[in-house]
Structure 1
Amino acid sequence: MSTTQRSEGMNAFFDEFINSTTTLQQFVVQYDNALHSKVEKECEANFASANTTLPCGSQSFIERQFQDEYTHAKFGEVQNELTCKINCNIKSVEVHGGKAKYIVKEALIWKDQSADKYNEVIFDLVTKDIECTCWLFEFRGVLCCHSLMVLALEDVKFVSQKYILS
């Protein structure tokens, strides 16, 4: 996460517990209350995830794989990327040795204008490992729509466990 994102996230987290008039002593007490609240919300979310199932939006084995492994919140992120896959097209493919390099065009709309974005996805034909220049997996722990597009094109039914974070 960028410094700004962390700062905004922390501000939002503490907003309900402290304000500009909070003393240092009150801050320590409220900080403890905030942490307990966060742990409680995580336990409730884990319980809900363990006892209910969000439906899959497709017939994808990969989607089902993530459905079985992730909490509702993380699975929702995966489903969002699967939905965004509709905006992607493969523009070119180059195969060198055991690796394929895909150029994936993602059609976006920004300020009511078409704003295409291009990403490079490297797919290892042997190990089925995948990397994308958008780095979504490295930053958020979720495979991006560009990678999911390539995996579908390569007819990969299940992803390696290294792409399913605990």
Structure 2
Amino acid sequence: MKRALKEIMPLTKHGLCTWHIMRNGVKHLGNLMKDGSHFLRDFKKCMYDYEEEIDFENSWRDLLVKYNVEENTWLNSIYQKKEKWATCYMKNAFTLGMRSTQLSESINSDIKNCTRPNLNINQFFKQFERIVQEKRYNELQHDYEMRQKIPRMIVQSSPLIRQLSQIYTPPMFNLFQREWDLVSTTNIIERNETNVCCNYVITMVDEKGEWNVSYESYLENGEWAITCSCRKFEQWEILCCHSLRILFCKDIKLLPEKYILKRWARHARSDAMSDHGGKPINVDPRLESSKQYKQLCSRLLRLAHDVSDDSEACTMVWEGVLELKKKVVAIRLNNQSHGTHGTTIKATQHVVESSTSKGIGFKKKDGPKQKKYRRLKSWVDELK
């Protein structure tokens, strides 16, 4: 896989799944983890805790000497691939925080739990389609809750927090608030400021290490750029607490668009996607139909509220609704006669039918509740 990726996708960063590395470590070095040994804890520190290469190298040497495993074949082989799993090497890659294959493993588990080896191809695809529909429904439900609920802001008066509460999805907004909360633990111990470029050295309370932050200001257009040695923004596309401390000192109240990744935004699905032929892709028609349904409901409810106390206006609206219903029926009959079954017509049909039979929100799906099976956790997974 490494050779194929290097040849076909040379700009892609290939990393190893940390979960599988830990499982292989238990398999090859289980004898070192008995009788209250802290080998697994020290190995995890080498994998996650060190942001500088020199700290990682020193800790790795101490690990080998402490447990007398300098000649262990598996440890030497995994050390040769350290660029693919150690944090100090992976921080330069755009990983969005992913360090394992949990996404594909989750999908594989769902498929295995509902299929059997004796299914024919038609039965398999029926089961597969049901899984896809369940995942899309869950996504639609999360999307609905995200748009309806207001995130909890730990700092109500901060313009930066208020700005991102309207942009970020709830999980990413909570992560950003955690970084904002850590700003109070940072200290600026060195400053080297000029008119254009400013360099700072940051430390944190109760944490070892120093972080170098560079801030550049372009006076001709008012733009600025900031980078930190922790490389959190390059890896997650979210600003770290060290950078936020400098922005706070510079009296910067709002973030520009280049520091807000659209992937983490609520409106990430607003733009249309196209396939290789240039045709628009509709990932799930129910997402679009639900959006149109909510928009129509809000407008029609507002209109009904405005005319409810005027009988003449109410009669006019009622006649208009009947006329619109006739036009919609005519459009649907015309499309059916021409064999048109596009997503727009389906969405319109959904809106018309839902306006008379459904309320706003989600309806529980009929049928027996599917039993959820999850991979049993071993004692390694349960360790903090």
**TM bracket (short chain):** 0.7 to 0.9
Match of 2:224 in 1: 128
Corresponding residue number in structure 2 for 1:112: none
Instruction: Determine which structure has more spread, i.e. the larger CA radius of gyration.
Output: 2
Distance 2:197 2:124 in 1: 54
Question: Are 1:45 and 1:71, in contact at CA under 8 Å, matched by a contact in 2?
Answer: no
Letter of the structure 1 residue corresponding to residue 242 of structure 2 = H
State the AA in 2 paired with 1:118: E
Unaligned runs of 5+ in 1: 109-114
Once the 2 structures are TM-superposed, how far is the Cα of residue 16 of structure 1 from its aligned partner? Answer: 4.2
- Provide the C-alpha distance between the structure 2 equivalents of 1:22 and 1:91, rounded to a whole number of angstroms: 62
Cα distance between partner residues in 2 of 1:134 and 1:34: 39
Kindly provide the amino acid, as one letter, of the partner of residue 78 in structure 1.
F
Report the CA distance shift for 1:14/1:157 in structure 2 as closer, same or farther (over 3 A).
same
Write the distance in 2 (CA, Å) between the matches of 1:41 and 1:138: 30
Partner of 2:16: 3
In 2, the alpha carbon distance for the partners of 1:6 and 1:22 equals: 27
Question: What is the aligned partner in structure 2 of residue 47 from structure 1?
Answer: 144
Amino acid at match of 1:57: I
Distance 1:158 1:41 in 2: 33
| Paired amino acid for 1:117 | G
SS where residue 53 of structure 1 aligns? Answer: coil
1:13-46 Cα deviation digits (max 9, x unpaired): 5434436x96597987766655544443332222
1:84-163 counterparts in 2 under 5 A? 84-108=182-206, 115-126=207-218, 127-163=223-259
C-alpha separation in 2, matches of 1:97 and 1:33: 61
SS of corresponding position for 2:166: helix
Opposite residue 165 of structure 1, the aligned amino acid is: L
1:33–1:148 distance in 2 versus 1, CA, 3 Å: farther
C-alpha change, 1:38 and 1:137, in structure 2 (3 Å) is farther
TM (norm. structure 2) is 0.37
From the superposition, tell whether residues 157 and 8 of structure 1 become closer, same or farther in structure 2 (CA, over 3 Å). Answer: same
Give the number of the structure whose residues are more often helix, by fraction.
2
Compared with structure 1, are the counterparts of its residues 122 and 10 closer, same or farther at alpha carbon in structure 2 (3 Å cutoff)? same
Q: C-alpha displacement at 1:133, in angstroms? A: 1.5
Matches of 2:158 and 2:124, distance apart in 1:
48
Distance 1:15 1:118, change over 3 A: farther
Where do residues 53-64 of structure 1 align in structure 2 (5 Å cutoff)? 53-58=150-155, 59-64=157-162
Q: Deviations over 1:43-77 (max 9, x none)?
A: 22222121111121112211111101011111111
How many Å apart are 1:155 and its aligned residue?
0.8
Aligned positions, number: 159
When residues 7 and 157 of structure 1 are mapped into structure 2, their CA distance, relative to the original with a 3 A threshold, is same
- In structure 2, what residue type is equivalent to 1:53? I
Q: Describe the SS at the equivalent of 1:101.
A: strand
| Structure 2: runs of 5 or more not aligned | 1-12, 18-98, 263-384
* SS at 2:100 equivalent: helix
Equivalents in 2 of 1:31, 1:94: separation in Å? Answer: 59
Deviation at 1:129, TM superposition (A): 1.7
Question: Within 1, Cα distance between the matches of 2:128 and 2:195?
Answer: 55
Residue 117 of structure 1 aligns to a residue in which SS?
strand
SS at match of 1:6: coil
Q: 1:38 to 1:135 in 2, by over 3 A?
A: farther
1:44 maps to a residue whose letter is Q
Question: CA RMSD of the aligned region, Å?
Answer: 2.8
Secondary structure of the 1:86 match is helix
